[in-house]
Amino acid sequence: MKTIIPVFMCFLAFIPSQASAVTATYTNSSQNITLTGLGGSNGIGQSRITWGSCAYDGAHTNCTVSAPYTGAGGGGTISMVLSYLGNGISPFLANSISPGNDQIQFAPFIAGSSVMVSLQENIGANVKFLANLQFNFNFQYSSATCTGIAATSCAVGQVGLTPGATITGTAFGTFDATPAIQSVISAGSYGGFSAVSPGTWMEIYGTNFANVLSQTWATADFNGNAAPTALGGTTVTIGGQPAFIDYISPGQVNAQVPSNIATGPQPVVVSMAGGTSAAYTATVNVTEPGLLAPAVFDLAAGQYVVALFPDGVTYVLPPGATNAVPTARAKPGNTIMVYGVGFGSVTPAIPAGQIVTQSNALQSTFQASFAGIPATLQFAGLVAGNLGLYQFNVVVPNVAASDTVPFTFSLGGTKGRQNMLISIGN
């Protein structure tokens, strides 16, 4: 039976109209797409996806659907490749979005699986978009046949509800590579606040941010001491000014906020080969201080601050808390080092985007406290050889021994928002 059946595979597919989009519209594919019903439950059909033609390269099975397209880059050939580890049966599953619905979406991918969409433009360029669960394309069957169900019931939703039933055919549709921002926070391991500040680090989450699985800046990306404002073809602006990009992936970009950005609501925009995102409004404060306290330091007793002894290798943690690094309790009189971002200006001024090469001191007053007892501060400033990273050398005060001593700080008299612990011995 020949039919046209809409099948939408979309993840976070809303793209605001203000974005500058790169959309490819493709016609009948050269390969078939097959959905095999698995039954589902409560009216939610589930199917296994057999995607075009597959080849095993010794490590991964790569399944390709290709078609001519128009639009982006003057047209050409689009290739949509689903890859998975090994050479077994396809692990890709699709679920109806609601009971009886012919609109489906991929189930979560297993480890080692990915989606790569390539646009081979007629002008010669080959532009790739690595997606993993975060991509925007839809296809419709242009000529489909079913087995295992009546011809009059040949529909995607019904196939998913019928174990062993299949629907097979060529497809047409669109692929939208436009970046889309979902959220912006300050560095997650340093508090992950909803606002940012000049010179701090921000994490941008969304879709279609990069056409590589991941990339972190390297020495070659720097111009002397100046950090890159583009990485792998991805750029970020905030308040119309370029940010300094440390890391990119399809779903995340890490960047340092420029120093002279104005406070208040500011637009954040991500651009790459797929176009330019709609602006996402982020709040910029004068400071947005946070100390290093990552999830790996969130132990059974609570969230511990990352504190180092002067040897640079021993962490202040309860003995036995981890076998990955040396640990020890700090004692009154010991000097320990904690690290942070978003603490504001230093003297002399060192702009964002520049590797720190000179001695400096934090302008605002930093105060660390152990169970409410203030500590003596020996140093507060930016760390040499880094960008936007502050170091605070504090002397442990005379405080009662405990593996769960509350650790707090204030900046300019304003208490920080993190609740942290530190291990103190006798």
Where do the structural domains in the chain lie, given as residue ranges?
5-176, 180-284, 290-424
Longest Cα–Cα distance in the chain: 83
Q: Residue 3: what pLDDT?
A: 29
Model confidence at 121, pLDDT cuts 50, 70, 90, reads confident
Architecture of the 290-424 domain = Sandwich (2.60)
pLDDT per residue over 153-199, tens digit each? Answer: 888 889 999 999 999 999 988 888 889 999 999 999 999 999 999 99
pLDDT per residue over 338-369, tens digit each? Answer: 999 999 999 999 999 999 999 999 999 999 99
Cα within 13 Å of Cα(194), Cβ side: 4
Nearest CA to 250 out of 305, 222, 290, 209 is that of: 209
**Residue 131 CB partners (closer than 8 Å, separation 6+):** 114, 115, 116, 117, 207, 208, 250
Choose the CATH number for 180-284 among 3.20.20.10, 2.60.40.10, 2.40.30.70, 3.40.640.10: 2.60.40.10
> What does the mean pLDDT of the chain come to?
90
Q: Residue 211: what pLDDT?
A: 78
**Residue 311 CB partners (closer than 8 Å, separation 6+):** none
Give yes or no for residue 208 having a pLDDT over 70.
Answer: yes
pLDDT per residue over 22-51, tens digit each? Answer: 688 999 999 999 999 999 888 899 999 999
